[in-house]
Amino acid sequence: MKLIAHRGNINGPNHELENNPEYIDIAISNGFDVEIDVRNVDGDFYLGHDNSQYLVSISWLEERKDNLWIHCKDLKSLEIFSNSSEDFNYFWHQEDDFTLTSKNYIWTYPGKPYTMKSIIVMPELIDDLEYKNFKSLNCYGVCSDYVS
């Protein structure tokens, strides 16, 4: 099962460090993939959930692309990644039940039905014993603040 650190979190939410490039690198060095929030402002890429916090280069993204699940937070980012010759794994969603990533995985909102191609998002939000032991779920992966 693929374990994806939500915004770099591996041992619970840390709002001060989420989407920080150094924090993301720590999660990757611990063997996890990472979901990041990306937006494009005037041609530059920034990480940050609610605003543009951390400037990163396209080369920074390219070097980590095998471990990143890129949540495009704006249309420009989505357009740039969709036109890239690099093999980025990206998607856009808000509160949709399901979203298909660019690599054909089903990004699945908490508590919704799932398949072997699903990434179950934030299982810790679901009050169900099955989700509490998420590493035993029959899906492709889990995106959580508690992957460790």
> What span, in angstroms and rounded, lies between the C-alpha atoms of 143 and 80?
24
Q: Kindly indicate the confidence band of residue 13, based on its pLDDT and cuts at 50, 70 and 90.
A: very high
**Which is more confidently placed, 95 or 106?**
106
Q: Report pLDDT digits (tens) over 23-45.
A: 999 999 999 999 999 999 999 99
Tell me, rounded to whole angstroms, the distance of Cα 30 from its chain centroid.
16
Mean residue pLDDT of the chain comes to 94
- For residue 129, what are its two tokens? 């014993």
Number of structural domains the chain divides into: 1
Q: Kindly indicate the confidence band of residue 129, based on its pLDDT and cuts at 50, 70 and 90.
A: low
Q: Report pLDDT digits (tens) over 58-98.
A: 999 999 999 999 999 999 999 999 999 999 999 999 889 99
Strands 106-108 and 118-121: parallel
**Residue 124, domain extent:** 2-144
Q: Report pLDDT digits (tens) over 80-89.
A: 999 999 999 9
